[in-house]
Amino acid sequence: MAWKKFSGEILRSPIMEEVERAIERETALGHKLKVCIGTDSQVKGSVTDFATVIVFIREQRGGFMYIHQERTMQKMSIKERMLTEVQKSIDISYKLCDLLDLYDVDLEVHADINTNPMFKSNKALHEAMGYILSMGFVFKAKPEAFASSCCADRMVH
């Protein structure tokens, strides 16, 4: 259940401590931060891999991220898998939201769900959106959901 950096280095402290240290470090350097959280998954035979990312965006200064990967043998429909991705993102968002509020850091939850009805993932859009918004989080779907569709996506392929 370890979180790691993009470099693959495993974080030694709990994710809450790492996030707080990162915010303090970046704030001290004068960076305005935004955090985007997203999850993506990949099915390979009977295995489903999930990757959840916490992406820190420094205003006009690039960014960095922490990654958590999980594997399950549980069989899921596409809708179930999309909503599991959203659940994983909400779980970590909920854990971090008080800390981010304390430091006045904006949070977005990104769902790897297509807003185009032609795509299978669209079946889960309304439930995912309702769930995220009802939790009080800012919601982004594709194409704005880069945390899940780009960052997390790289970690499951």
- CATH number of the domain where residue 104 is located: 3.30.420
Q: For the purposes of burial, counting CB atoms within 10 Å of the CB of 73, is it exposed (0-12), middle (13-18) or buried (19 or more)? A: exposed
Q: Does the pLDDT of residue 70 top 90, yes or no? A: yes
Residue-wise pLDDT tens digits, 41-67: 999 999 999 999 999 999 888 899 999
pTM of the complete model beyond 0.85: yes
**pLDDT interval class at 30 (50, 70, 90):** very high
Determine the Cα–Cα distance for residues 41 and 50; give it in Å rounded to an integer.
4
Domain count, the chain: 1
Higher per-residue pLDDT: 152 or 127: 127
| Residue 75, pLDDT score | 93
Average pLDDT (126-144) is 85
Q: Give residue 56's domain range.
A: 3-156
| Residue 117, pLDDT score | 77
Complete edge-to-edge strand list for the sheet that includes strand 47-58: 3-5, 63-72, 47-58, 33-44, 106-111, 138-140
CB 139 within 8 A of CB 90: no
DSSP 108-156: EEEE---SSTTSGGGGGHHHHHHHHHHTT-EEE-TTT-HIIIIIIHHHH
Q: Does the pLDDT of residue 16 top 80, yes or no? A: yes
Determine the Cα–Cα distance for residues 40 and 72; give it in Å rounded to an integer.
13
